[in-house]
Chain A
Amino acid sequence: MSDKIPVTVLTGYLGAGKTTLLNRILSEPHGKKFAVVVNEFGEVGIDNDLVVGADEEVFEMNNGCICCTVRGDLIRIIDGLMKRKGQFDAIIVETTGLADPAPVAQTFFMDEDVSSKTRLDAVVTVVDAKWLTERLKDAPEAKNQVAFADVIILNKTDLVTAEELSAVEAQIRAINPYAKIHRTQRAGVDIAEVLGRNAFDLDRVLELEPAFLEESHHHHHDEDVQSVSFTIPGDVDPAKFMPWVNELVQQEGPNILRSKGILAFKGEPKRFVFQGVHMILDGDLTQDWKPGEKRQSKIVFIGRNLNREALNKAFLACAA
Chain B
Amino acid sequence: MSVAPSQSLTEHVVAVEAGAHVIGAGWLGSKAAFALADGQLLLTNGSEHARVAAHPGGGILVAVNADKTIVTGGDDGRVVATAADGTTRECGKEPGRWIDALAIGRDGAIAWSAGKVVRALDGKGQLRSFTAPTTAQGLAFMPKGYRLAVAHYNGVTLWFPNTDAKPDVLAWKGSHLSVTVSPDGQYAVTAMQENALHGWRLSDRKDMRMSGYPSKTRSLSWSHDGNWLATSGAEAAIVWPFDKQGPMGRAPRECGVRPVRVARVAFHPRALVLASAYEDGTILLIRLTDASELLVQDATGSPITALAWNDTGRSLAFGDEAGNGGLFTLPS
* A44→B116 CA distance, assembly (Å): 24
Residue of B nearest to A85 (CB): B21
Given A53-B97, A57-B153, A112-B216, verify A73-B135 contact (CB < 8 Å): yes
The answer to whether A72 and B98 touch across the interface, beta carbons within 8 angstroms, is: no
What string of 1s and 0s marks CB contacts (under 8 Å) between B64-99 and chain A?
Answer: 000000000001000000000000000000001110
What string of 1s and 0s marks CB contacts (under 8 Å) between A66-96 and chain B?
Answer: 0000101101110010011100000000000
Residue of B nearest to A113 (CB): B216
The answer to whether A83 and B216 touch across the interface, beta carbons within 8 angstroms, is: no
The answer to whether B194 and A62 touch across the interface, beta carbons within 8 angstroms, is: yes
What string of 1s and 0s marks CB contacts (under 8 Å) between B94-113 and chain A?
Answer: 00111010000000000000
Given A80-B61, A112-B216, verify A61-B194 contact (CB < 8 Å): yes
Q: Does B325 touch A at the CB level, under 8 Å?
A: no
Q: Does A46 touch B at the CB level, under 8 Å?
A: no
Q: How far is the CB of B210 from chain A (nearest CB, A)?
A: 14
Size band of the B side of the interface? 20 to 34
The answer to whether A83 and B193 touch across the interface, beta carbons within 8 angstroms, is: no
Given A59-B175, A70-B193, verify A76-B97 contact (CB < 8 Å): no
The answer to whether B37 and A83 touch across the interface, beta carbons within 8 angstroms, is: yes
Given A70-B193, A83-B37, A83-B59, verify A52-B98 contact (CB < 8 Å): yes
Q: Which residues of B contact A76 (CB under 8 A)?
A: 100, 135, 137
Q: Which residues of A contact B115 (CB under 8 A)?
A: 55
Main secondary structure, interface of A, reads mixed
The residues in B between 142 and 190 inclusive whose CB is less than 8 angstroms from any CB of A are 153, 173-175
Q: How far is the CB of B20 from chain A (nearest CB, A)?
A: 9
Q: Which residues of A contact B21 (CB under 8 A)?
A: 83-85
* A84→B97 CA distance, assembly (Å): 16
The residues in A between 37 and 59 inclusive whose CB is less than 8 angstroms from any CB of B are 41, 52-53, 55, 57, 59
The answer to whether A80 and B75 touch across the interface, beta carbons within 8 angstroms, is: yes
The answer to whether B135 and A62 touch across the interface, beta carbons within 8 angstroms, is: no
* A61→B211 CA distance, assembly (Å): 14
Q: How far is the CB of A117 from chain B (nearest CB, A)?
A: 11
Q: Which residues of B contact A59 (CB under 8 A)?
A: 153, 174-175, 193
* A83→B98 CA distance, assembly (Å): 13
Q: How far is the CB of A36 from chain B (nearest CB, A)?
A: 13
* A173→B135 CA distance, assembly (Å): 39
Q: How far is the CB of A51 from chain B (nearest CB, A)?
A: 9
Q: Which residues of B contact A41 (CB under 8 A)?
A: 96
The answer to whether B193 and A72 touch across the interface, beta carbons within 8 angstroms, is: yes
Q: Which residues of A contact B30 (CB under 8 A)?
A: none
Given A52-B98, A53-B97, A57-B153, verify A72-B175 contact (CB < 8 Å): yes
Q: Does B131 touch A at the CB level, under 8 Å?
A: no
Q: Which residues of B contact A84 (CB under 8 A)?
A: 21, 37-38, 59, 75
Q: Which residues of A contact B174 (CB under 8 A)?
A: 59, 61-62
What string of 1s and 0s marks CB contacts (under 8 Å) between A92-130 and chain B?
Answer: 000000000000000000011100000000000000000
Q: Does B215 touch A at the CB level, under 8 Å?
A: yes
Q: How far is the CB of B113 from chain A (nearest CB, A)?
A: 11
* A205→B59 CA distance, assembly (Å): 37
Q: Does B134 touch A at the CB level, under 8 Å?
A: yes
* A53→B94 CA distance, assembly (Å): 13
Q: Which residues of B contact A70 (CB under 8 A)?
A: 193
* A34→B272 CA distance, assembly (Å): 47
Residue of B nearest to A50 (CB): B75
The answer to whether A72 and B59 touch across the interface, beta carbons within 8 angstroms, is: no
Interface residues of B (CB under 8 A from A): 21, 23, 37-38, 59, 61, 75, 96-98, 100, 115, 134-135, 137, 153, 173-175, 192-194, 215-216
Interface residues of A (CB under 8 A from B): 41, 52-53, 55, 57, 59-62, 64, 70, 72-73, 75-77, 80, 83-85, 111-113
20 pairs from A and B in contact (CB 8 Å cutoff):
A52-B98, A55-B135, A57-B134, A62-B173, A64-B173, A70-B193, A72-B134, A72-B153, A75-B193, A76-B100, A76-B135, A80-B59, A80-B61, A80-B75, A80-B98, A83-B23, A83-B61, A85-B21, A111-B193, A112-B216
4 closest A-B pairs by CB: A83-B37, A62-B174, A59-B175, A83-B21
New A-B contacts (12) at CB < 8 Å, excluding given A57-B135, A59-B153: A53-B96, A53-B97, A59-B174, A59-B193, A60-B173, A72-B134, A72-B137, A80-B75, A83-B21, A83-B59, A84-B21, A84-B59
